[in-house]
Amino acid sequence: MSSTPMPRSVGPYKPLRKLGEGGMGVVWCAQDQRRPERLVALKVVSAASLGSGDDSARRFVRESRILESLRHPNIVSFYEVGVHQGQSWFAMELLSGQPLSAFSARPWPALLPLFVQVCDGMEYLAERAIVHRDLSPDNIFVVAEGGGPRAKILDFGIAKVTTAQETIHNFTRTGLLMGKPPYWSPEQIGMLREGESLDWRSDLYTLGVIFFRLLSGSLPFEADSPIGFISLHLAEPAPPLAAPEGNPPIPDSVADVVRRMMAKHREERPASYREIGDLFRAALRQAGVEPPALPPGAEASPPTAATVVPPTRETMPWKDDGEPTLATGPMTAGVTRGVVTRETRALTGLDEHEPTVALSAERPADGARAGLGRRSRRRALLLSGAALAAATVLAVGTYLLLREPAPSSAPVPAAAGPRAPAPSAPPGTLALTALPWGTVRSVLDDATGEPVPLPRGLTTPLRLDLPPGRYRVEVASGVGPETRRLVVEVRAGQTRVETVQFVPGDEAVRLLD
């Protein structure tokens, strides 16, 4: 991507220096010309990342206003949004501090106060049905504020608005993966069934990976390629969490909740960020460390018991060697349909009859805050281009056993008489992805030729539960006329992963620039 020249002004702001540039646009340190003493992080969003047409620009402004409405001490502040010479922009709080990655491998009592604050901020977002989708240790910043360190969540940029009809199969134009491979959740890789949506529990998994890395000094899953991370996130249990040599042992309660955060099936993860934060607070109190105060309006859950060994020493910060992320550059998030009040409509500029967005603070009765808007096009999301292409080739034909077949009960001698019908075999799962993306035209039973009923416009990534057997699958490229046909074997209780490569990785990068 070519370097963008510095404009003389953007709305009421005067850019002073470039902070960074990526697939979503450019971030400038800018001066508010109405208040010259105030400096902001100004994001000028590329037109390509928004899509085409006036509707995209209006949607950007409306969705950015959702972010303007967020008020929490552990979330970066958004000031205002506008359009300048056809380019959309928004101004954010300019932070000065260190990314959370700089605190890796410190003793757990030094880390948990920061983790508690992150959980508080994520609970606030989850209650508003906002899904971050790109958490990493570099997207959480630690600043000096209020007499101590304060963690602030950033880089969750343009909130996407979904309706009740938007699920895993239509929330994305490109079918590309968001975020960074070491922190992907199983759901982000496409492990959602028809009708299911990405929700707050995806972020919770990612946060578990982050906490593991910070507490232990290393990632729970190490791989040399994106497909390696895909396999590990889908099938490999997280290893035991242990403190680095010389650090005090991590309490069992803390290690257990971090492990549960990384459960492959989201139903097995903790019920809320509040639950995790309360457990961390209890562990800190038992160690004689005063935890951060609850945010205003929050109610404490009943205290959780924890076995704690007091700390013995501090360690030096460990520099994160992952891909650097700007401390000011927002990325994509998701907002799902929900309760929208008259005041919310006024705040966001929603038309009275327009599809609504969920800004309700009420948690659904079943605890499932679901939803994710269409993913923006970002070069960074395509990973390393050619490297992903090579990884994709390796993915074709790969079997990942996400679920063990249901154990069969011991046979029971039957009395003489008519034999009962044998129980049917459990279904298997076909997980299909494409580079850069594709549309599934048909899935046929190879034995009978009968088509499997599918929704129209079904796009990758997708997950289909199918009876055991052979299937003929036809996938059309999302960027050209090419069509691929696959023959796949689906086995009972197992997941088969297939990846179709339509274009080389570097060509896919060009398509998304």
List active site positions. 134
Ramachandran angles phi, psi of 262, nearest 5°: -100, 20
Closest Cα to residue 486, out of 496, 475, 477? 475
Return the structure tokens found at 190. 């496409």
Cis before 468? omega within 30: no
Closest Cα to residue 103, out of 317, 365, 290? 317
User: In residues, how long is the chain?
Assistant: 513
Q: What whole-number distance in Å separates Cα of residue 245 and Cα of residue 258?
A: 19
Ramachandran angles phi, psi of 159, nearest 5°: -70, 135
Return the structure tokens found at 281. 């607070």
Closest Cα to residue 139, out of 55, 75, 50? 75
CA distance to 134, 255, 350, 367, 468, per residue, from 258 (Å)? 18, 5, 39, 19, 35
Q: Which residues pair with 486 in a beta bridge?
A: 473
Q: How would DSSP label each residue in 113-149?
A: HHHHHHHHHHHHHHHTTEE-----TTSEEEEEETTEE
Coil/strand/helix, residue 436 = coil
Determine the longest span between alpha carbons in the chain, in angstroms: 92
SS (H, E, C) 402-464: CCCCCCCCCCCCCCCCCCCCCCCCCCEEEEEEEECCEEEEEEEECCCCCECCCCCCCECCEEE
Closest Cα to residue 359, out of 80, 70, 94? 70
Q: What whole-number distance in Å separates Cα of residue 79 and Cα of residue 203?
A: 25
Closest Cα to residue 459, out of 443, 475, 482, 480? 475
